[in-house]
Structure 1
Amino acid sequence: MDPNTPDKFPNTVNIGVVGQSDAGKGSLINALRGIAPRNPEAAKTGVSATCQEETKRYQLSDSQFLCELPAYGSYKWPTQHFSEQTKLLKYDALIIVVSVGASDSLQITQQAKDAGIPFHIVRAKADRDIEDGLRDNGLRPEETMQKISEEMSTLPSRNRLRPEGLYHLNLASKDQGGDKPSLAHLQKALLSQKKLDKW
């Protein structure tokens, strides 16, 4: 059982950051907090599963915490039991970090929608998509980003979702890349997030 579930911190606004291994959760948390990956207080990043054991908490503001949940879909954290194990539906908001197609996250997003939890869908590794687009299809970066934008914009209607926002971010780029809404818009939305009455 995860020792850092949100019910243990009833006096803070707990924002869950959820996604599969290597989706970019740590990179997104660091970008939202404005700190470099090498900072001792930074979330771990890398190609291996960096958050497999338990939820890690990172302060965003005086009362708000970004909570990096373990990567779901693993042996220890199977998707079908993930919500119960992590008390996912006790969070005040969720950031769902997705990869190509976002089909890997549909169960999580549907649970958030059904529970009335505000959620944001983020594709955090547009830099990887740009590299793949160039290597595999000869696409220019702007063509790949346009393709991602189109895919992300149809996600809510295709799956009957109502996210607070859809974001695709190139966190390897200094300007964060992508179309608006951008990293700054996501930061603003999170900083305005209030405590949900779940107690």
Structure 2
Amino acid sequence: MDAKNREWIRLIERKTEHLRSAFIEKGMTGLCKTIQNELDSWKNETINIGVLGEAEAGKSTYINALRNLDADEPGGAPVGNTNMTSKIRSYDHPNNKNVHIWDFPGVGSTNNPKDGYLEKIEFAKFDFFIIMTSKRFSENDIWLAREIKKKRKKFYFVRTQFEDDVENEMEKKENKEIQKKDLESILKQKVYEDCKRNLEEFKCEDNIFVIDSYVKSSYDFEKLETHLIHDAFNISDGKHLAITSCLTVMTLPSLKEKKLVLEKRIPKIALRAAFALRVKDTDIMILKEEMEFYKQQFNLNERSLRRDAEVSNIMERLSKIEESVQHIEKESNEMEELNEIDKLMPFLPVINIRKTYKASKTLLQKALERIYEKAVDVNLTMMEGLTHD
């Protein structure tokens, strides 16, 4: 048995003993509360993401895009205000107030010299750093990357405003006959190669991202989010779930990532529902709340569907999409496992707890699969709308 598997076994043994102790010390109520506290622990995780770069690098626009907000919405980061660049600003994620994205002033100016800069931004508390530029990474950017690397913090190089580059090249006479998609590919490769040469000392080929925050469905915006999710997993389970619940780009890889994270919750939710059987109808309520949570996580709630339909230019199809989502809810309420649980009587022998646990796991797995498949369908519909824009 390898070291990784041994560590997993030790972890499971510790969690099992923890639940057993909760039951012995505080009874059924204490056990249910312990399970719920573990399920909700990710909500208390604090994540700090620092966005670094010089003025006009597109930091504010990226921060808004990461939070699925416009600059003129409540909580939106002001865009195009160079005076704001001289201040440190923190923006909470609307889906989780414990996830903070920070906009930092550029380093190396009279107001923000290198000496003392890291202390000024409270460098040590950050989980991730995103170093942005709309042109070429400067000496100051490279200095920051060196300092971050010394502290063994995760950081990413992000080249922004790429759509502007494409549009500018499209207007040139020599490019009139080139298809936009082909030109995008050519320019993107050029940017990658330039960044690799510029950042050669970091050996960071897999850590360079080309994005345009106004066109999140194109280029590397989703790829960057996926890296954030994967790297959060290496910090802790809580941070992994916290950041996965926040990121909103519903591309196929990110949908799959969310599904894998949500699947990890199923055994604990089923266990909590099984013990809640002793309070009539509480088990059903717990399961329905979890299914609603799945729907929210996949952006299948009313607000998210409307916003995505507007962006994708498919508002005329919104009512049909909403109707199909409601059909999923109806199917979930009619599932055989839910009916089976509903028939079980509270205060009966342990066999009913076992039956509820087994039926709850099956129910949640099926419901998650259906909601995931619907999210994939909606995603493809949105992408079709963008393609035919």
| 1:30/1:37 contact within 8 Å kept | yes
Partner of residue 145, structure 1 = 188
Match runs of 1:64-103 below 5 Å: 64-103=99-138
- Cα-to-partner distance string for 1:119-154 (whole Å, 9 max, x where unaligned): 011112113333554578955642333311322344
* Cα distance in 1 for residues equivalent to 2:224 and 2:86: 25
* Cα distance in 2 for residues equivalent to 1:171 and 1:91: 22
Shift in Å at residue 79 of structure 1? 3.4
* Equivalent of residue 19 in structure 1, options 32, 39, 53: 53
* Cα distance in 2 for residues equivalent to 1:83 and 1:52: 15
Partner of residue 7, structure 1 = none
* Cα distance in 2 for residues equivalent to 1:127 and 1:147: 14
Q: CA RMSD in A?
A: 3.0
Q: CA 1:116–1:174 in structure 2 vs 1: closer, same or farther (change >3 Å)?
A: closer
Shift in Å at residue 167 of structure 1? 0.7
**TM-score, scaled to structure 1:** 0.74
Shift in Å at residue 49 of structure 1? 4.3
Q: CA 1:20–1:79 in structure 2 vs 1: closer, same or farther (change >3 Å)?
A: farther
Unaligned runs of 5+ in 1: 1-9
Structure that is richer in strand per residue: 1
1:150 maps to a residue whose letter is E
* Cα distance in 2 for residues equivalent to 1:189 and 1:60: 21
Match runs of 1:176-187 below 5 Å: 177-178=218-219, 182-187=220-225
Which of 1 and 2 has higher RCO (CA within 8 Å, sep 6+)? 1
**TM-score, scaled to structure 2:** 0.41
Question: Quick one: percent identity of the two aligned structures?
Answer: 23
The secondary structure found in structure 1 opposite 2:84 is: coil
* Cα distance in 2 for residues equivalent to 1:137 and 1:159: 37
Q: CA 1:35–1:60 in structure 2 vs 1: closer, same or farther (change >3 Å)?
A: same
Shift in Å at residue 163 of structure 1? 7.9
* Cα distance in 1 for residues equivalent to 2:99 and 2:194: 31
Partner of residue 42, structure 1 = 76
- Radius of gyration: which is bigger? 2
- Cα-to-partner distance string for 1:2-36 (whole Å, 9 max, x where unaligned): xxxxxxxx961111111111111111111111222
2:224 matches 1:190: no
The aligned length equals 181
Structure that is richer in helix per residue: 2
Unaligned runs of 5+ in 2: 1-43, 237-389
Match runs of 1:2-13 below 5 Å: 12-13=46-47
| 2:65/2:216 contact within 8 Å kept | no
